[in-house]
Amino acid sequence: MFSGIVEEIGAVQAMEKGLAGAKFSILASAILDDLHVGDSVSVSGACLTVTKTENESFFVDVSTETLNRTILGKISVGTPINLERAMKLNARIGGHLVTGHVDGVGTLRAREQDGNATYLTVEAPEDIMRYCVPKGSITMDGISLTINGVTDRSFAVAIIPHTAKVTTMGLKQIGDSVNLESDLIGKYVERLLQANGTLSPPSSPIIDKDYLQKRGLL
């Protein structure tokens, strides 16, 4: 479990991809303190398990499922990534409860400056948009953010200068893909309402070319 408060920006040092998945070597510094084999790390929003540590890097295995459903399948050596160690129960939760289980991939459609804040508009799949509410929370590339506006197909967030500096959000450009995780509490509430018959379950999506493209599977 994570809080969505990024500890540092790391970078992919090396990768090996195959039919069974991939192995990443990730450059880091701050999070290497007290990091051990078996620990969980949020890598741009995806929860991965540490398999090895060295002086300036750590290693993770990435499954084919994770490569297909997140932006990790499209990154290359040198790509900057957001890093956060699993949170401690005796620490403050500065963001919100984040599992590190990416729900889908969104696309940055607009980037506008307003005072000291940068407003980003992100197009997201329908199964993520239904959990987006104004002033609610969403995780974007592992960052806990507050939703400022919602339309049928997109949501908007404001990035303050500090967030732009200490995360990869300051580097994102229009057309870039981002990992998205919906608010965990919203998903549990929906499931409970469906179980007692208060809310009808969502209709099954039509799996066509447009559906696959929106989720980065084509």
- Read off the pLDDT of residues 139-170 as tens digits, 9 standing for 90 and up: 999 999 999 999 999 999 999 999 999 999 99
Helices (H), 52-137: 64-69, 126-129
Rounded CA-CA distance 150/3 in Å is 23
In this predicted structure, what is the pLDDT of residue 65?
94
C-alpha 4/C-alpha 96 separation (Å) is: 7
Distance from C-alpha of 156 to C-alpha of 145, rounded to nearest angstrom: 10
Q: Which of 40-49, 81-90, 91-100 has the lowest mean pLDDT?
A: 91-100
Instruction: Examine the pLDDT at 89 and tell me if it is beyond 90.
Output: no
pLDDT for the residue numbered 212 = 64
Q: Taking the model in full, what pTM does it have?
A: 0.86
Residue 218 has pLDDT above 70, yes or no: no
Please report, in angstroms and rounded to a whole number, the separation of the first and last CA atoms in the chain. Answer: 30
CATH assignment, 8-85: 2.40.30.20
Per-residue model confidence (pLDDT) at position 215:
57
Residues 189, 136: Cα–Cα separation, whole Å: 14
pLDDT at 56: 95
Convert the pLDDT of each residue in 174-197 to its tens digit.
999 999 999 888 787 877 887 777
In the DSSP assignment, the letter for residue 2 is B
Tokens of 188: 């549990």
Percent of the chain residues past pLDDT 70, beyond the cut: 90
Residue 156, φ and ψ in degrees, nearest 5: -125, 145
Across the chain, what does the average pLDDT equal? 91
Residue 97 structure tokens: 């409860």
Quote the pLDDT of residue 19.
87
Q: Which CATH number fits domain 104-214: 3.40.50.300, 2.40.37.10, 2.40.30.20, 3.10.129.10?
A: 2.40.30.20
Name the segment(s) of the chain with CATH classification 2.40.30.20: 8-85, 104-214
Each residue's pLDDT tens digit, 15-42: 999 888 999 999 999 999 999 999 999 9
**Alpha-carbon separation of residue 5 from 52, 70, 96, 124 (angstroms):** 24, 19, 9, 22
**Which H or E run includes 57?**
strand 57-62
- The residue-averaged pLDDT of 105-127 equals 95
Query: 99, 26, 17: which is closest to 62 by C-alpha?
Result: 17
According to the model, what pLDDT value does residue 51 have?
A: 98
